[in-house]
Structures are given as structure tokens and as C-alpha cells.
Amino acid sequence: MARKRKGVPRHGWLVLDKPGTMTSTQAMAKVRWLLKGEKAGHGGTLDPIATGVLPIAFGEATKTVQYAMDGHKTYRFVMKFGEATDTDDRAGRVIATAPGRPTDEQIEAVLPRFTGMVSQIPPQYSAIKVDGERAYDLAREGEAVELAARIVRVDSFLLTGRPDEDHAEFEVECGKGTYMRSLARDLAVALGTLGHITVLRRLSVGRFNLENAVTLEELEQIIAEGARDPDDLLLPIETALDQIPAVDLTGEEAQRLRHGQGVLLLRRGDLARLEELRQDERDAGTALATERGRPVALVRLDGAELKPVRVLHV
């Protein structure tokens, strides 16, 4: 006999303004418990000290988590010059100091080096796996972790404030896999000193932003008062799929996909749909199939056939 899932079958995204007192997994678990969701996942890990946008997927939305993680991101952070920590943020212990304090002009002159396609080595304390183990677990056990450099995309890196000579505020727009702690660390070294992040806040992930975010305290109050249906807090599943093309299907075509069958686009009226999908470069070969605007499945275009990749049962 199949084991029955516990919880309410909710489908969609809740945007949490994560507090800086817990991990992303802990925050997700708390939200899932509050909403009594039977299945949940989050769209991109935030460091424990970080606050801000943490998209949390419920039900069928968990099938689109990868697309949320791939989304364009915006961060704001404050860094402190003169001290390096083992975690590259204030959570770690100071491992080295340096006297240098750059001027605004020196910072502005170096920032262009860190925009575009940038090579960076992730922090030792990161979730990257090394021989099957998380890097942060190895680092906590005192093992020397050697992480390979990776190429990331930084679209914008701006100096936005200077509270004092020891600190500087920045705003960054970037692509998938960019570590703010690495940016801060490497920027300090390029300026002839050391540095680490003291404050980190994520402002957006794709279409998820602080404008549609809720704090844990607000969520707890909403649930306690019972004046709103928790489902009203959820954004549609397709919110995470902005970066892939969509194709609308007939009821018959949608039904074929729901049963795991492919859909051939061979009629004259299908030519425009095929051509649009082939020319759309937002995601190679993957699209969102909809019926009257409602999501049906993630599909792959194979020649003239749409093949289901993940069927969305909503």
C-alpha cells in the first residue's frame, strides 16, 4: 500500500524574506510547517547570515526549482576592509589582517575587472561537493579544501555607499552560481588589502523580489489570525519560468502531454508555433506548454514533436 503524504497539496511559490538567523533549509522547513504543505523545495541557497529573497516552491512548483535557481539575481552587501575570515563573511573567524583602506576612486577603478564573465574560486565554506562531501563539512573538520575556479557572469557591480573607511556598500546583478563572498574577497585583494562581507541581502531572483516577499513573522501572524487562505500567498508555478518560451496547446494536445505522450506539430497552423520556439534562445529546446494560459508540462522540442519532460499536475 502506497504511503500517504502528510500535509495539504498546495502548488505554487511563496517568496520568503529570509532572516539572517537560520539556513535556507531551516527557513524552508519552517514555512512548510506553517503552511502544512506536503512537498516543498527552495530556489537557490542563501548563506546563513544573508537575508532577503528565498523563493519556496510547493507541490508541482518543485518541478521548476532548477529554473528559479538559474534566474538573474540581484544582491546588496556591505564589506569590511582589513580582515579576512575563513568563511569570507562575518560568521567566520579572522585569519589574517591588512592595513590597507582603499579610497572610493581606487574601488571604482577596479570594479570593471569584476564585471562580465569572471573567474572566481568559491568560498571554502560552500555547498559545493568535493568527492561526495559538502565543502563546508570538510572545512569544519579542518580539512584543506581545494575548489576549482569557475566562470560566472556579473552584469553590474556598483559602489553604492561608504559608511566609513573600513566599510563599503555594493549592489550586484549577476547570473547563476556567483558568490558574493568571493567577489568581496577578490575585490579586496585586487585593492591591495583583505576583506569580508558583514551584511548580505538578496533583492531578487528572476521575477521573485522583495515586493512580493513575506517575513516569517508576517506569515506566522497571517496563519494565526486565519483571515486569509494560505493559497492566496502563493505565486503561480510559471513565475519561475520567465526565461523559457511558452507554447499554448489545444485541449486534446494538452491531454496527450498529461498522459506522457508527445505532440506532433505538423499542421499548417503549427508552423508559426514551431518557428517561434526554434528562434527563441532563452533556453535550448525547453519550453512551457500551456492550455488557455494554465501550465501543463515542461516540454522539449524534438524536430516537429513536443515531448514531455515534466508533467505539471495542477
Q: Out of 3-12, 75-84, 218-227, 269-278, which region has the weakest mean confidence (pLDDT)? A: 269-278
281 falls in which pLDDT band (50, 70, 90)? low
pLDDT tens digits along 19-31: 999 999 999 999 9
pLDDT digit string, tens, across residues 56-113: 999 999 999 999 988 899 999 999 999 999 999 999 999 999 998 999 999 999 999 9
pLDDT tens-digit readout, 136-177: 666 676 677 778 899 999 999 999 999 999 999 999 999 999
Mean pLDDT for 289-293 is 90
SS3 137: helix
- Work out whether strand 94-97 and strand 83-85 pair parallel, antiparallel, or are unpaired: antiparallel
Other Cβ atoms closer than 10 A to 268: 6
Residues forming the active site: 47
Q: What is the pLDDT of residue 183?
A: 97
Q: What is the mean pLDDT of residues 282-298?
A: 82
Give the orientation angle of helix 24-35 with respect to helix 216-225, to 10 degrees.
10
Predicted confidence at residue 88, as pLDDT, reads 95
The string of pLDDT tens digits covering residues 228-268 is 888 899 999 999 988 888 888 899 999 999 999 998 876 66
Which cell numbers in the block locate residue 286?
525547453
Q: Which domains, ranges and CATH numbers included, belong to the chain?
A: 12-71+207-239 (3.30.2350.10), 73-205 (3.30.2350.10), 244-311 (2.30.130.10)
Residue keyed to cell 504511503: 3
Residues 6+ apart with CB under 8 A from 70: 176, 243
Our measurement of the distance from residue 228's CA atom to the centroid of its chain's CA atoms, rounded to an integer in Å, reads: 27
